[in-house]
């Protein structure tokens, strides 16, 4: 029988709650220690010092502060008596996060000397938020990006139903700017444009609903993603604009040529 893993989950929103609900289905394999303000869970970061894995699942802006707190707990445990390095707080813990951008958080972990930190990002979600919206199947079939490999973490990701993808933080942030963050910006911009510029709201059909679905998601998380990855989003926006101009020209020229050909027959 495999040894039970002690898992810390910090922040029980859509992502953290879904991790908790899925792993709770296998309580003989996973002991869960959750830190949550809204769900009244009694644990603190200090209580997670002897876990195997900690998932930081809060809003992106809260994670650097939590990493700093963990670094302080480690440093304090080193000062308290002659504790061997291997017995210090978090010495055997893999710390990972779920935030949607990776560069800022990973460089903060690096600056703090947190060698056991593995940046992560589950490519799963809904437009809802909070513990009530979380469900155990959220990660089923989804990709889960990690910057480095680790056996125990990979075991838990597989348990959650997700598939591992290895990607460094810089490449990750450039990639999600195109696949996730620019689509969000465009969705918000389109909704704003429709409100302010469209001469008739009654022309909104299913295409408009699909294109603006992202704009109706978790506004705070959206603002954080756009803010933290804005340089990459701006780069992809320049290329996107060129692509739109090229498409308009190609379609325009093709249609003109077709009309000219029909007229000459």
Euclidean distance between CA atoms 135 and 264, whole angstroms: 62
Token pair for 32: 């869960």
- In a 3-state reduction of DSSP, which class is residue 144? strand
Size of the site for ligand NAP (CB under 6 A): 25
Strands of the sheet with 117-118, listed across from one edge:
41-42, 30-36, 5-10, 53-56, 94-97, 117-118
Q: What is the helix (H) or strand (E) element at residue 257, kind and residue range?
A: helix 230-264
Among 5, 7, 8, 13, binds ligand NAP (CB under 6 A): 13
14 binds ligand NAP (CB under 6 A): yes
40 binds ligand NAP (CB under 6 A): no
Give exposure, 175-197, as e/b (b: 16+ Cβ within 10 Å). Answer: ebbbebbbebbbbbebbeebeee
Question: Smallest distance, Å, CB 129 to ligand NAP?
Answer: 4
9 binds ligand NAP (CB under 6 A): no
Show the site string, 195-224: x = touches ligand NAP by CB under 6 A, - = not. -----------------------x--x---
Among 2, 37, 206, 260, binds ligand NAP (CB under 6 A): 37
Nearer to ligand NAP, 20 or 52 (CB): 20
Euclidean distance between CA atoms 213 and 209, whole angstroms: 6
Nearer to ligand NAP, 78 or 161 (CB): 161
Question: Smallest distance, Å, CB 193 to ligand NAP?
Answer: 24
Q: Do residues 134 and 161 lie in contact, with contact meaning Cβ atoms separated by under 8 Å?
A: no
SS (H, E, C) 31-66: EEEEEECCCCEECCHHHHCCCCEEEECCCHHHHHHH
180 binds ligand NAP (CB under 6 A): no
125 binds ligand NAP (CB under 6 A): yes
Among 36, 96, 106, 236, binds ligand NAP (CB under 6 A): 36
38 binds ligand NAP (CB under 6 A): yes
Euclidean distance between CA atoms 21 and 17, whole angstroms: 6
Rounded to whole angstroms, what are the CA distances from 156 to 29, 159, 256? Answer: 10, 5, 57
Nearer to ligand NAP, 112 or 226 (CB): 226
Nearer to ligand NAP, 128 or 204 (CB): 128
Q: Which stretch binds ligand NAP (CB under 6 A): 9-17, 79-87, 184-192, 208-216?
A: 9-17
Among 60, 96, 106, 236, binds ligand NAP (CB under 6 A): 60
Bridge partners of 10, per DSSP, are 35, 56
**Footprint on this chain of ligand NAP (rule: CB under 6 A):** 11-16, 36-39, 57-60, 62, 98-100, 121-122, 125, 129-130, 218, 221
């Amino acid at each position: 029988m495999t040894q039970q893993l002690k898992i810390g989950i910090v922040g029980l929103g859509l992502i953290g709650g879904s991790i908790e609900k899925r792993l709770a289905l296998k309580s003989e394999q996973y002991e869960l220690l959750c830190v949550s303000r809204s769900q009244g869970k009694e644990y603190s970061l200090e209580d997670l010092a002897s876990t195997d894995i900690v998932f930081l699942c809060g809003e992106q802006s809260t994670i650097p502060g939590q990493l700093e707190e963990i670094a302080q707990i480690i440093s304090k445990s080193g000062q308290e008596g002659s504790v061997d390095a291997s017995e210090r707080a978090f010495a055997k813990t893999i710390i990972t996060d779920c935030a949607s951008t990776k560069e800022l958080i990973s460089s903060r972990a690096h600056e703090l000397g947190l060698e056991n930190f593995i940046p992560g990002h589950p490519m799963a979600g809904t437009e809802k938020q909070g513990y009530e919206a979380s469900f155990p199947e959220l990660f089923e079939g989804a990709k889960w990006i990690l910057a480095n490999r680790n056996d125990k973490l990979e075991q838990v990701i597989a348990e959650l139903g997700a598939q591992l993808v290895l990607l460094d933080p810089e490449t990750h942030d450039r990639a999600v700017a195109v696949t996730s963050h620019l689509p969000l910006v465009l969705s918000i911009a389109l909704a704003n444009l429709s409100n302010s510029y469209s001469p008739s709201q009654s022309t909104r059909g299913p295409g408009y609903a699909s294109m603006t679905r992202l704009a109706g998601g978790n506004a705070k998380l959206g603002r954080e993603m756009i803010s933290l990855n804005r340089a990459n989003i701006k780069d992809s926006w320049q290329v996107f604009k060129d692509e739109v101009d090229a498409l308009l020209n190609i379609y325009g020229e093709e249609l003109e040529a077709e009309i000219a050909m029909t007229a000459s027959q």
